[in-house]
Chains A and B, each alone.
Chain A
Amino acid sequence: DAKTTQPPSMDCAEGRAANLPCNHSTISGNEYVYWYRQIHSQGPQYIIHGLKNNETNEMASLIITEDRKSSTLILPHATLRDTAVYYCIVRVSGGSQGNLIFGKGTKLSVKP
């Protein structure tokens, strides 16, 4: 699986958009970008994933650059409950694939 690079921490004001970047310059053509988050002492929560098109769901939007070497997770209106560690992971999709490898992630602090 391709390696990802994320900033260790970010701050965001409550109600503003939180933009979390991720670099994955060695991503392969068949690898997807997945985002998870982990709120303190809880199990990680799946947020969104994509291959090359931008994706949006009820939680967030995922913007992937045209060359697929980087992506940005956007939380459009951050709330205090969005304070968490956010993990960007790239891997091949499909049921026969193995484990997710979690890096250190970005600790997002949403402040009032």
Chain B
Amino acid sequence: EAGVTQSPTHLIKTRGQQATLRCSPISGHTSVYWYQQALGLGLQFLLWYDEGEERNRGNFPPRFSGRQFPNYSSELNVNALELEDSALYLCASRSFANTGELFFGEGSRLTVL
């Protein structure tokens, strides 16, 4: 069974540009979570999607947005990139039926120059 897959693995952008990151959850999983991990820091919760709806978002500005598609895959968009947006962006999925453990992808490393 394939795990959570994320693309691209690495992405380099310049200030002011937009970045789009993608996530495919484990088959059968309906919830997708996005986390940001800046270098040397902990995981900061960004967004939670379930059944196509945004359920919760962390303390991030509106230029961080996303969506979940009917096949439960998800996209994270970051507009008007700033240098401090450079980080590892992690996606995780969770089945509604299980007891709450999240399964993480390997992340997308975004570098803003």
Contact = CB atoms under 8 A, between A and B. Distances in A.
A49 interface: yes
Contact of B99 (A45, A49, A100, A102): A49
Contact of A102 (B43, B97, B107): B43
Interface in A12-57: 32, 34, 36, 38, 41-46, 49
Interface residues on A, range: 20 to 34
Contacts of B95: 95
Contacts, number: 63
Given A42-B107, A49-B99, 17 more contacts: A32-B100, A38-B43, A43-B92, A43-B104, A44-B43, A44-B90, A44-B104, A46-B101, A49-B100, A95-B31, A95-B95, A99-B45, A99-B58, A100-B33, A100-B102, A102-B42, A104-B42
